Amino acid sequence: MPAAYKNIARVVRPHGTKGEVLVAPLRGLPLLLSRGMKVHLTPPALKRERVSTVEAVSPVPEGARVRFSCSRNLDEAESLARCYVLANCDDFELGALDAAFDELIGRSVVDERHGEIGVIGEVMETPANDVWVVGSGAYGEVLIPVIADVVEAIPSEGPIPVRLMDGLLNL
């Protein structure tokens, strides 16, 4: 079976003159980059290695300052701006509730007692936890807190099972 890959971050901009870049995890994901990890920077460039190694990672408030093996100076770092960082899924581990927001939009949500709730249309970030705005279902707009008591895990595909607390649905 071929290896599975996932976009885990995006290069924001160069950081300094020695080839380092500022990298931000995709919304909804923690920082998953680690030293020695092999990644693909997409879209690929004609004059850049297809596979690059993460040589250094230093967390900063905006994400991380990262040095890739393909970037040694400011010009090379500038060529990476707006690239996605694509990594082999075997090289990182996601928590049960970690999922990139873009991958959640359009996914259906099914409650164990009430059945089909609707489709995730938006993900709101709050200080306590994320909240899914679910609509297009029989219950109208439903706000679902993304906490372990409600969402046990997010499968990679198919409907997302939930255990809604009383009071979240207009019955």
pLDDT at 23: 96
Mean pLDDT of 107-115: 94
Domain-by-domain residue ranges, the chain? Answer: 5-91, 101-162
Q: What does the alpha-carbon distance between residue 40 and residue 86 come to, in Å, rounded to a whole number?
A: 5
Q: Which long-range contacts (CB under 8 A, 24 or more apart) does 43-50 make?
A: 43/83, 45/79, 48/76, 48/79
- pLDDT at res. 74: 94
C-alpha separations of 91 from 18, 42, 47, 136 in Å: 26, 18, 26, 36
CB-based contact 31:9 (threshold 8 Å):
yes
Average pLDDT of the chain? 91
Share of the chain above pLDDT 90, in %: 69
Euclidean distance between the first and the last CA atom of the chain, given in angstroms as a whole number: 45
Q: Sheet holding 115-125: strands in order across?
A: 142-145, 130-135, 115-125, 108-111, 160-162
Position 161 scores a pLDDT of: 96
* 78 contacts 12 by C-beta, under 8 angstroms: no
The per-residue pLDDT for 98 is 86
Q: Give yes or no for a contact between 26 and 100, defined as CB atoms under 8 angstroms apart.
A: yes
What's the whole-model pTM score? 0.78
Say if residues 117 and 133 touch (Cβ distance below 8 Å): no
pLDDT at 2: 67
pLDDT over 70 (residue 160): yes
Q: Indicate the class that CATH gives domain 101-162.
A: mainly beta
pLDDT recorded at residue 1: 58
Fold classification of 5-91 is: Elongation Factor Tu (Ef-tu); domain 3 (2.40.30)
Question: What mean pLDDT comes out for the span 60-67?
Answer: 93
Residue 111 exposure: Cα atoms within 13 Å on the Cβ side: 19
Stretch among 30-39, 94-103, 155-164 having the lowest mean pLDDT: 94-103
- 73 pLDDT higher than 70: yes
Residue 33: per-residue pLDDT: 96
In this predicted structure, the answer to whether residue 122 has a pLDDT above a threshold of 80 is: yes
pLDDT at position 32 is 95
